[in-house]
Each structure stands twice: as C-alpha cells, then as structure tokens.
Amino acid sequence: MPHDADRLLPAAPVTSLDDHLAAGGGVGLERALSLPPEEVTTLIDTAGLRGRGGAGFPTARKWRGVQQTAAEAGGVLTLVANAAEGEPGTYKDRVLIEQEPYAFLEGICIALHATGAQTAHIGIKEKFTGPVTRLRAALNEITAAGWPGADRISITTGPDAYLFGEESAMLEVIEGNLPMPRIVKPFEAGLHATTTVPNPTIVNNVETLTHVTSILAHGADWFRQAGTEVSPGTMVFTVVGDVASPGVYELALGTPLRTLLEDIAGARDLKAVYSGVSNAVITPALLDTPLCFDAMREAGVGMGSGGFIVYDASRHIVDVLSVLVNFLAVESCGQCNACKLGNGAMADLLARVQRGEAEQTDLEALLRWSQSVTDQNRCYLPVGSQLLVGSTAAAFVDELVATVASGSPTPADLPTPLIEAIDEDTGEVRYHPRYHLKQSDWSYADEEPGALRLEALRER
Ligand SMILES: Cc1cc2nc3c(=O)[nH]c(=O)nc-3n(C[C@H](O)[C@H](O)[C@H](O)COP(=O)(O)O)c2cc1C
Ligand code: SF4
C-alpha cells in the first residue's frame, strides 16, 4: 500500500525502537522538549493540524481549551489516545499501530509535554490482539529507553462496542464502567471528575497524535506543503466494498475523492458511498469534491475518519441502508429513548421492506422516525442515523418507492462493514464474522444474554 504521499505509513513495518530512530524517529520529541510547552502548541496551530478521529476539530484549539478549563476550574489534566477504531469502513489506526507504533507513542509524549497532562491512557479494543501486543512491546521499549513521559502512559483494553470510541464513553471504560456516553463532554468533565473538580481530559485520535510527531520533526511549513489551506497535511484513508483494490492509502488532503475511489481503489459503476455511519450518502455527482473537511461539509457530506464504504450499481439501496441503520440500532446504548426506539423502529421498517412486506406508509414512518431519533440525544450516534436515512431517502426515493410497490424481497446479502482485517498482500477484506448475531442489548444470539465482556473492561 505505500504511495508517494506517504508520511505516516512506512515503506516497511518498523519493528524496533532502533529502526524508528534510524529512520529519523525521536527528533520530534527532542525538538518538543527543547521548546517551552506553549511553543509546541503554537507549532501545531501554525501547521493547522485538524483531528483525524471524525470531526476535523483543530488540535491546538482543543489542547488550549482544555488547559484553560484546567487552569480556571482546577483538577488533573489527562490525555486519552483514542484507538478504539469502531467506525464501519475504517482500519487505518490499526495499520498505523502495527506498522509504526513508535511514532504514535512519540506523539503522546510530545502532547504530554505540550499540554502539561499528567498521564496518558490509550483506549484500544481488547479484540485487536495484534495491535495491542505491538503497542505493549513498543511502550516497554520506550520506557526502558527512558523517553520522558513514557512511564506515564498506560493501555486500557475495552469492549467490542461502537460507543467505546465515543470520547466520553471511553472515559467511562477507563474508569471501569460500560461504554455509556456522558452528558458532559471530556473537556468539561474528564477522568474521575467530581462536582467540584472537573479534571478536564483531552481526547485525540491515533492518527492525529502520529501527525504531531512529524510536525515537530519536520516543521509546520513542511506539513503545509501537502493539503489545502484549511485542511493541511495528509490523511490515511480506508476504502472497502465494491472496489478492485480495497486498502489503506495515505493522500494529501484536497485530493479529489474520485482519485481515491476510482483511480486508486478501482471503483467502477459506483452508486452510493458512505464515509462511516455518521454522514450523508455520497452520490457519483459528488466525486469531484476535494477530500477537505470544509469542502466535504459544504457539499453536504463529511469525511468522518476517512473510511469509505463503496456500493456499486449491482446493490439494492434498501439493503445498504438496512445494514447501516441496523448497526446503529444495535450499538445505541439506550440512555436516550428517542435514539434506541427510533433506530430500532427504522431497522425494523427497513427489514420489512427487504422482506417485500412493506407499504408506502412505512416509508413515511421511516422518515418521521429519522427526524425524531435525535431528540434529547447525549451523543452524536443518532445524528448519524438521521443523516444516513434522510440523505439516502432523498437521493434514492424512486428506488425505495418502487421496491415497496413491487412487494418483492431484496437480496439482503450485505455484511456489516466492520473491518476485522485487510490482507496487505491480497487486498482481501474480512468483516466482523459474527455481527449478524449481535443484539440490541449487545449480547450475541448464540451466547447467554448480556454477555458483553465485562472482564474486558476490568483488564488493566
Ligand atoms: C459513536 C461515536 C463513535 C466514535 N468512535 C471513534 C473511534 O473509534 N475512534 C476515534 O478516534 N474517534 C471516534 N469518535 C470521535 C471521538 O468522540 C473524538 O471526537 C475523537 O477521538 C477526537 O479525536 P481528534 O480530535 O484527534 O479527531 C467517535 C464518536 C462517536 C459519536
Ligand atoms: S444518543 Fe443514543 S447512543 Fe448516544 S447516549 Fe443516547 S441512547 Fe446512547
């Protein structure tokens, strides 16, 4: 998968700290430690780094905001590195960790220095056994080598739940609880916050922190040599689905979406593309949109964490929508009624259309649920369902209406695009093999009810 634009993806896996240092690693941390902390943040600000975890939020602004809360309201400032990677269609964080864990860990050490955070926690799924093993070994190496900050980094393994990656739910898991999003966000009330001590917490994605290392090593101007004015640098994208060459590709931001999907991944006869499950559908008319946070938003879609799921003209749009909405219905935690009920109702209605048993009034009900599913939401999950259903219904209204009118079942042959692994040599993509058995209480149909692995939360 190496490519000309690669800055984060190494040509070959970096298997030891010596390899990392020989390839120029360590320079970023050395430079950071030679600067006052605020100057490190200024460098990240000048580079224009934006978070790669989904929202594209400016990293320096996040760091400064949390520091201000800590200064004004008190408590311990903590850093959390989000390696949950639960977004359907996304696989890049695991590739970064398996191929170059030292650059990610170096970014954490730099962020500890820049922000004054006392400790850093990496939240990663227990089931990602390869990346977890790699990360533990690399952390041991940098600790033994005496890297400043390394002895204040710990790894928390968590459950196989989408919400584990939601930042406030990740704090819950680190505290030993289930991944239930909080009303208050981490920058206001962080790890072990109390009513009097907010302990604000910074949450950053793996890729974001890995870019921090290269910005410190090479400078803000170098970072801006790739990308656009408002979305500088490169981003590591994942493409799966109906493409000839699925995989993980690093590209300069601003590259047209068409280049990634058609020229690189080999998509043909494309019908609908989804950047995870939190954004509107991308139709062929939008393929010339630049891969830039703002340009994508202006086009009415989003980039998410850079994972694209491609469906070609052979697919039935009802099957596509059903598999994505069912994922959100299962993963919703149920703390907000409109979210759990609304997502469940939409999944049931779509299943009825798939069986050929629906009436036109069911489509109207689907749209009504999509409007109310976000009522009093604690987290962003149901906004995703609202965008998916609203945009897909608008773009494919004729197909939806005709499917219901025909009364015929659809093929219903699509897997939930939660990536288990992508074979780098063959390009073969393996999806979560048991997702079809996952139920809305997060247990699996072939297991005891409520079998969400609590021991995964307890393992430290
Ligand atoms: C339902 C849900 C799931 C999420 N899953 C992830 C995830 O797996 N990994 C991730 O980095 N961010 C995920 N996020 C976004 C995080 O909440 C958070 O915004 C991000 O880690 C911030 O990092 P950044 O500023 O570096 O982008 C998720 C958000 C939501 C609402
Ligand atoms: S909005 Fe949905 S997923 Fe988020 S906290 Fe509420 S019920 Fe849970």
Decide: 373 in ligand 2 pocket, CB within 6 A: no
**Is the CB of 377 inside a 6 Å radius of any atom of ligand 2?**
yes
**Nearest-ligand number for the alpha carbon of 53:** 1
Q: From the CB of 334, is ligand 2 less than 6 Å away? A: yes
Report how far ligand 1's centroid is from the alpha carbon of 264 (Å). Answer: 26
Q: What is the distance between the alpha carbons of residues 53 and 85, in angstroms, rounded to a whole number?
A: 9
Q: Tell me: domain 317-413, CATH 1.20.1440.230, correct? A: yes
Q: Which ligand is nearest to the CA of 333?
A: 2
Cα 430 to middle of ligand 2, angstroms: 28
CATH number for the segment(s) 17-224: 3.40.50.11540
The Å distance, Cα 181 to ligand 1 centre, comes to 12
Ligand 1 pocket test target in 94, 128, 167, 333 with most atoms within 8 Å of CB: 167
**Per-10-residue mean pLDDT, the chain, length 460:** 70 94 95 97 98 95 92 89 97 97 98 97 97 98 97 97 97 96 93 90 98 97 95 97 96 97 97 96 97 95 96 97 97 96 97 96 97 96 97 97 96 95 91 93 80 48
In the reported structure, the alpha carbon of residue 260 is separated from the centroid of ligand 2 by a whole-number distance in angstroms of: 33
| Ligand 1 closest atom vs CA 90 | 8
378 lines ligand 2 (CB under 6 A): yes
Question: How many angstroms does the Cα of residue 182 sit away from the middle of ligand 2?
Answer: 9
**336 CB under 6 A from ligand 2?**
yes
Q: Which ligand is nearest to the CA of 335?
A: 2
Residue ranges covered by each domain of the chain: 17-224, 317-413
Q: Is the CB of 339 under 6 A from ligand 2?
A: yes
pLDDT computed for residue 436 by the predictor: 92
Ligand 1 is surrounded, with C-beta below 6 A, by 51-55, 57, 62, 82, 84-87, 162-163, 165-167, 203-205, 208, 379-381
Residue 377 CA to ligand 1 centre (angstroms): 16
Q: Judge whether 17-224 and 317-413 match in fold.
A: no
Q: What is each CA distance from 126 to 43, 84, 123, in whole angstroms?
A: 34, 9, 9
Smallest CA separation from ligand 1 atom 12, residue? 53
Ligand 2 centroid to residue 227 C-alpha, Å: 34
Q: pTM of the prediction?
A: 0.95
Q: Which ligand lies nearest the alpha carbon of 334?
A: 2
Is the CB of residue 181 below 6 angstroms from any atom belonging to ligand 2?
yes
